[in-house]
Structure 1
């Protein structure tokens, strides 16, 4: 009897240790929780069967069956039935969760996107706010900053960089983690801070030591991030996407997205966050309705991409073997900021088409509100190949492109990096025609090259097609011409223009440009943008008779 109790004590102790160290989701309404309970019940009932089997051989004699033997046989039969039913229910739930049994739930998990006009909804290009630093470069720059402090570099390692908007500044925040068990043991108050890398200026890298990073991924005991989140109200909750973010005061937090399943064991849907203070370990849970304003991301990128793909895959049901109307996301996605909000941006292509898009999805990373821009053009990968082709002799590799509003038109922007991962050139590629590529050693030079190539096509430029034009009249102050991309381009300023804008027009725009002189009265049309050099779409010199 004592041996039986000892077995149960050991099993209970092992179960407790497993829950503490593995930190599983214990909710049976999730696949991992269902598996945990099915396995746990199987182990406990199996242990009971084995112990009862041993007692049967000990207590039963001859051909007669004792009362204890009958009870043991009933227990054995009941235990086997319970184990079989539990695993059958678990397997059945997984099977019924498939799209075959509820394809509409898969198709409609992502709401129908709001159709929007790219030129009016996405903010115009401001070269000073374009994120030129990607995740890989942020890590390289943070590692260099860490190398400036040799004593610190031997104690910590870099965590995963996270892009975010802090007080209007776009940055990468890189936490510092203990480099091993013994470093953690002698520094249990936390690693020494984090590193900020400006997303718009590779020269701006700052080490911040005002806040310790006490809670870390893959740490020990209750200092481990997942374990801390689990035992702070997350034991029966789906958790995913542990990202490092700073609040407006620079305090470091871990943002852990929580989720539920919309259809049995499938269709994960974010429903809030658990915020874990990386310094104090204090945790709070929020629903989508009351997430703090400084939190940029609640929706995991993987969830959004899967939901868009499901919408395209089951647009006309499960048995759509002709692929009629099907679409899918293009390979890759990128986080962008528009109007201070964080969005996931990805192209969508028709099934069977690899090099062209039918449009772009932009999904709010907090509310999951989806917008779609119906723009036919090149995929991100096609644009990358085109940009790399411009510098193929140098062997530079393109980063994943960011889509920008340049003069009212969708344009891919990417940096071109060498084998060391450092930026060497910048590139702009037209979404509608990926053969139109501008490259330069600086962003200004790349933009200038891009615009000149657009103009050299013999049209007034891409700004003719969309965008709200504005008209302006004035007197020419200064005017000059230059050669760009094999074509003549005219630049001029206007008298009394306090904005200091420089107006730029290709010679093909108007034959009157070649005859224009300082002091001439002119009228022009343009699409306003964030750049000081403004491309004009219409020109008339009133001093020259028509």
Structure 2
């Protein structure tokens, strides 16, 4: 083959490689597996092209003399020649090296590194570490509802709604100036909408995490850089790759706004700890969504307003690796193995952002051995041991069963510190995804459920369930509702058994027809009480048709026990 033809071949291959690098945003650092695979493929293409040209190129030869026969054979231009041994050696070396590094990056050779990538958790006390929740500001809006509310807000502006859309995957929860909210950037609706609005899509929408009515459209900002729906150098991954991370691993693009409302993309940078495996967050690239300016920060230098650096999938994999290889690779008996429960949630505690998930023994279904909480910036890890508690999925099923007549479905639960007791809280939504009721479920015993159309109603129902069961996790006087005391004469009293527990129900002449319910363990005097006795009862909140008693004193006997 002539020399000029060879030049054209190599030029064409190089041009195709450059186009592939540009449109696929290739990381040019060969110490990452996808990058190493690209280099191996590139070497293969060049070596095969060189070998073919060395053999005189290729030519098509018709099979037979019949001009109507269209089958052709491919032959080397120089006749019958063998494929160059040099090419075979180079190709074999490249792919053996790639396969070898991949193999030695596996858990088979790095079991301790897999187990210890997530450092030993700090064992904490739930009621000491987790702030008691303010039920007036508890998050009730999940990502799905935030997305629907943002889409509805966008639809109110027909001119904007026709040129932009919202991607649920970029709707992010964050704390801005002390307020917890969801932020949804607007995306271009397609290629032509991007081309017609090269300065960016028209802003973003915020949704309060605690008030579904608090939805705001912020049109003062243009989102020029965005993932998936912008093109060429406006595409977020490509923009970040070729401006700040040509030889760096990048992942996990999250949208955040600073305390002044300026929009940014937080792009996590990472390195592998063992060959091609065990990716570890090393910092961020802070991309200004309006201007495209990129700033790189090491993990220790990340701005304070940035909530999330650690990718959720990194954290979950590291937790599961620690549980899977707790006693090494060959642990066929599953001794002490644990895994994360189905699902996880982002929570905020004392102004910090955490990933929170339950831990279950391998093979367990509905019970948890505790919880783990990982700081989404520093990766500092806390573990709370709670053997026999309910998993998030079990709590959801229990809440769904409480309202099965309505067909409501529980959102993924938020675990809260309610009066110094770990408690699951979740909104109950209808088929349209709208909140209809709320539910509290005991972590210790997921059969104890309280529901109501307001959070306050659900809390009172939950307290009644706890107190009726004799659960002393929440002591009388610890509740967020005001206690009341009432004296009266017993008109009627009866005893009943429920799930092995004894309860008493009675009417008072001053109770306006209210049925008072008390667990037997509230007072020994209940067993001695009869109609006509003068008693004093204590209960939380206003008296309902059925009211749970938290303290009982039979004045006729004169000895109070509670």
What is the root-mean-square deviation in Å for CA atoms of aligned residues? 3.2
- Superposed displacement of residue 80, structure 1: 2.2
Q: Secondary structure at the match of 1:400?
A: coil
Q: Secondary structure at the match of 1:82?
A: helix
- Superposed displacement of residue 538, structure 1: 8.6
Q: Which one of 32, 46, 64 corresponds to residue 30 of structure 1?
A: 32
Q: What's 1:11 paired with? A: 13
- Superposed displacement of residue 477, structure 1: 11
Describe the shift of the 1:326–1:52 C-alpha distance in structure 2 as closer, same or farther (beyond 3 A): same
Q: Is the 8 A contact 1:415 1:425 kept in 2?
A: yes
Describe the shift of the 1:481–1:308 C-alpha distance in structure 2 as closer, same or farther (beyond 3 A): farther
Distance 1:481 1:228 in 2: 73
Q: What's 2:172 paired with? A: 162
Q: Is the 8 A contact 1:257 1:299 kept in 2?
A: yes
Residue by residue over 1:365-420, the C-alpha shift from the partner in whole angstroms, topping out at 9 and shown as x without a partner, is 00001000001201111111000000111111111111000111111111111111
Q: Secondary structure at the match of 1:112?
A: coil
Distance 1:359 1:328 in 2: 11
Distance 1:184 1:5 in 2: 38
Q: Which one of 328, 332, 336 corresponds to residue 343 of structure 2?
A: 332
- Superposed displacement of residue 510, structure 1: 5.6
Distance 1:212 1:253 in 2: 11
Q: Which one of 149, 160, 176 corresponds to residue 152 of structure 1?
A: 160
Distance 2:507 2:232 in 1: 66
Q: Is the 8 A contact 2:146 2:182 kept in 1?
A: yes
Normalization by structure 1: what TM-score?
0.84
Q: What's 2:405 paired with? A: 393
Q: Note the 1:348-363 alignment, pairs <5 A.
A: 348-363=359-374
Q: What's 2:322 paired with? A: 311
Q: Is 1:418 the counterpart of 2:400 in the alignment?
A: no
Q: Is 1:449 the counterpart of 2:499 in the alignment?
A: no
Distance 1:402 1:95 in 2: 40
Normalization by structure 2: what TM-score?
0.82
Describe the shift of the 1:84–1:419 C-alpha distance in structure 2 as closer, same or farther (beyond 3 A): same
Distance 2:216 2:314 in 1: 33
Q: Which one of 53, 56, 62 corresponds to residue 55 of structure 2?
A: 53
Q: Note the 1:361-400 alignment, pairs <5 A.
A: 361-376=372-387, 377-400=389-412
More RCO (CA 8 Å, sep 6+): 1
Distance 2:392 2:99 in 1: 40
Q: What's 2:303 paired with? A: 292
Residue by residue over 1:23-76, the C-alpha shift from the partner in whole angstroms, topping out at 9 and shown as x without a partner, is 01121111011101101111111111111111699xxxxxxxxxxx9xx98x93
Structure with max Cα Rg: 2
- Superposed displacement of residue 79, structure 1: 2.6
Q: Is the 8 A contact 2:467 2:549 kept in 1?
A: no
Distance 2:298 2:486 in 1: 59
Q: Secondary structure at the match of 1:463?
A: coil
Q: How many residues align?
A: 494
- Superposed displacement of residue 480, structure 1: 4.9
Q: Is the 8 A contact 1:463 1:537 kept in 2?
A: no
User: Could you list the runs of 5+ residues in structure 1 that have no partner in the other structure?
Assistant: 58-68, 471-475, 491-504, 527-534
- Superposed displacement of residue 516, structure 1: 5.4
Q: Which one of 234, 245, 256 corresponds to residue 245 of structure 1?
A: 256
Q: Note the 1:108-507 alignment, pairs <5 A.
A: 108-159=116-167, 160-218=170-228, 219-376=230-387, 377-459=389-471, 461-464=472-475, 479-480=485-486
Distance 2:347 2:148 in 1: 21
Which structure: greater helix fraction? 1
Distance 2:26 2:504 in 1: 64
Residue by residue over 1:113-133, the C-alpha shift from the partner in whole angstroms, topping out at 9 and shown as x without a partner, is 000000111010211221100
Describe the shift of the 1:162–1:489 C-alpha distance in structure 2 as closer, same or farther (beyond 3 A): farther
- Superposed displacement of residue 463, structure 1: 2.1
Distance 1:421 1:249 in 2: 31
Q: What's 1:495 paired with? A: none
User: Could you list the runs of 5+ residues in structure 2 that have no partner in the other structure?
Assistant: 60-77, 489-502, 509-516, 527-533, 541-547
